[in-house]
């Protein structure tokens, strides 16, 4: 049982189970128009065990989200056709559970006031580019903590009905 509870760093503790649950594979939607940034994020997230779908602008991001839910969205701010702030406003204006999808802004500018703009648009957090990979997993864990995916909610509701 100790082995099961052992996390990646080799520490076994009562917190390990919680950590491993928090680090569960996530369905991540990456919206980023820069090809290199997109590829690097895709590879990093896949290497962490996450399932990644990536798109190159906010409009396509909305189209994909219309088709299926995601656990979290990494959203570039500056994109052609529709930028990250506008896409976020559309998502937060939905009337279904996808409205609450955690959104992390990817931003090259960390100007004073930008952070407030992103949060005001409904984003949950932001990562400055170039992204520091050490920051990604802790941030994903934090923004998805307590937020069950729609799939998770459906399973939870079923469990509650049957038990
Ligand atoms: Mn961009």
Tens digit of each residue's pLDDT (9 = 90 or more) over 45-102: 999 999 999 999 999 999 999 999 999 999 999 999 999 999 999 999 999 999 999 9
- Measured CA to CA, the distance from residue 156 to residue 153 in angstroms comes to 5
CA of 108 to the centre of ligand 1 (A): 8
What pLDDT score does 136 carry?
95
Cβ–Cβ under 8 Å, residues 86 and 116: no
Say what the pTM is. Answer: 0.78
State how far the Cα of 24 lies from the Cα of 38, in Å rounded to an integer.
22
117 CA → ligand 1 middle, Å: 17
pLDDT of amino acid 23: 72
Q: pLDDT value at position 159?
A: 52
Distance from the alpha carbon of residue 70 to the mean position of ligand 1, in angstroms: 21
Which sign does the torsion angle of CA 26, 65, 103, 144 carry? negative
Residue 102 burial by Cβ neighbours in a 10 Å radius (0-12, 13-18, 19+): buried
pLDDT value of position 130 = 87
- CA 100 to ligand 1 centroid distance, Å: 23
- Ligand 1 is a single-atom ion; what residues have CB below 5 A from it? 33, 76, 78
- 138 CA from centroid of ligand 1 (Å): 23
pLDDT at site 148: 52
CA 132-23-106 angle, 5° bins: 35
Per residue in 18-53, pLDDT tens? Answer: 555 557 899 999 999 999 999 999 999 999 999 999
């Amino acid at each position: 049982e100790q082995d099961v509870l052992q996390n990646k760093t080799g520490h076994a503790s009562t917190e390990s189970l919680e950590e491993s649950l928090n680090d569960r594979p996530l369905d991540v939607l990456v919206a980023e128009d820069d090809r290199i940034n997109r590829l690097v994020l895709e590879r990093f997230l896949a290497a962490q065990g996450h399932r990644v779908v990536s798109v190159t602008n906010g409009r396509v991001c909305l189209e994909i989200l219309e088709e299926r839910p995601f656990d979290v969205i990494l959203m570039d701010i500056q994109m052609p056709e529709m930028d990250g702030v506008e896409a976020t406003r559309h998502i937060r204006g939905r009337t279904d559970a996808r409205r609450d999808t955690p959104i992390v802004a990817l931003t090259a500018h960390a100007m004073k006031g930008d952070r407030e703009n992103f949060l005001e648009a409904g984003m949950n957090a932001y990562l400055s580019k170039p992204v520091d990979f050490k920051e990604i997993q802790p941030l994903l864990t934090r923004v998805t903590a307590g937020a069950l995916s729609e799939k998770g909610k459906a399973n939870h509701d079923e469990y509650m009905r049957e038990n």
